[in-house]
Amino acid sequence: MIKTILPKSTIGIIGGGQLGRMLAMSAKEMGYKIAILDPGEDCCARKFADVFIHSAFNDFKNVEELCKLSDVITFEFENIDVEVLKILEKKYNFVQSAKSLEISQNRLSEKEFARSLDIPTVKYYKYNDENIVIDSTYLMKTLRFGYDGKGQKKINSIEEIEEDTILEKLLDLDKEISVVAVKDRENIEIVAVVENEHRENILFRSNIPANITKEQNNKAIEYTKRILDNFDYYGVLTVEFFISDGEVIFNEIAPRVHNSGHITMQSANKSQFRAHIEAICGLKVGEIYNKETTLYNILGQNEEYFINLITKRQGFLHLYEKEARHNRKIGHINFEGTVYLEDDFE
């Protein structure tokens, strides 16, 4: 049974990036204290921490120190040491299970998990599968540690296959969507169904509502609830889907708050960050509803454009106080309604 953690208690966050920052900001608004562990001394979430532990994510002693200080512990991204969590969750209050993290860390495990729940996936092979047939273009992805297109490349022959990869048949995409959901002590609520556009494998723009059919919307929600029903998990979890030839096809799981969910800071009556804090603290989240909204990610090379843009039109600018570098996510901006900006900032 999930514990009830009330304001003035301490929430521990493993990871001090922008997701940790926005989780901390929501928690502080509610009156919680924050402890953060991160290997970066100048991580952008640090200024919102009551306690900061400068440490590698696989340093058992320091991760346990964070646990000792915290009434509940959460994490902001997948690439942390699951073996450390497996040990510590037996003693401390982790509500996103190590099992869910372990599955999401490995692209093959994700696909097999989805298929075990009768959720459609792309056709795929593991790199050492004896039955591989490369009869068209496949996307070769590293089994672990890939994001924003890193660790991916197209292949057309068996000779190009590298070790420790998964081969996914390249689809003709109609759309990409994400379902941001939250599981609290009583229910699974849908935070948002978001339509996403990627450029160079980095999220470029998101829109609510997603321009999909009612049947596609309902299937994506059903599949997401099926996943949460089969995880020992509380908090926000996001599932990415492809729409191809009208079908809803599983892509990947993010057992955490998600980049596309940043849109909910303006679209929803309750953001993904507030919903996650409430859920992991054993509180009731309640129904979440959205209005028409557009999000643009801000990359380092576009910082000046978006800062100047708010002098010309109304928008909700969120900068993460991160050093601006090419293709680094340093912020986002939300607009009411559907907004298409000219591409003069690229």
pLDDT per residue as tens digits for the range 151-186: 688 889 888 999 999 999 999 999 999 999 999 999
Q: What CATH number was assigned to the domain covering residues 175-336? A: 3.30.470.20
Please report the pLDDT score of residue 344 as a whole number.
67
Q: Right CATH number for 10-94 from 3.40.640.10, 3.40.50.20, 2.60.40.10, 3.40.50.720? A: 3.40.50.20
Give the 3-state DSSP-derived string for the chain, with helices as H, strands as E and coil as C.
CCCCCCCCCEEEEECCCHHHHHHHHHHHHHCCEEEEEECCCCCCCHHHCCEEEECCCCCHHHHHHHHHHCCEEEECCCCCCHHHHHHHCCCCCECECHHHHHHHCCHHHHHHHHHHCCCCECCEEECCCCCCCCCCCEEEEECCCCCCCCCEEEECCHHHCCCCEEEEECCCCCEEEEEEEEECCCCEEEEEEEEEEEECCEEEEEEECCCCCHHHHHHHHHHHHHHHHCCCECEEEEEEEEEECCEEEEEEEECCCCHHHHHHHHHECCCHHHHHHHHHCCCCCCCCCECCEEEEEEEHHHHHHHHHHCCCCCCEEEECCCCCCCCCEEEEEEEECCCCCCCCCC
Please report the pLDDT score of residue 297 as a whole number.
97
Annotated binding residues, written as ranges, equal: 107, 141, 146-152, 168-171, 176, 198, 251-252
Please report the pLDDT score of residue 200 as a whole number.
86
Q: Where are the domains of the chain?
A: 10-94, 123-169, 175-336
Annotated binding residues for ATP, written as ranges, equal: 107, 141, 146-152, 168-171, 176, 198, 251-252
pLDDT beneath 70, residues of the chain = 145-151, 343-346
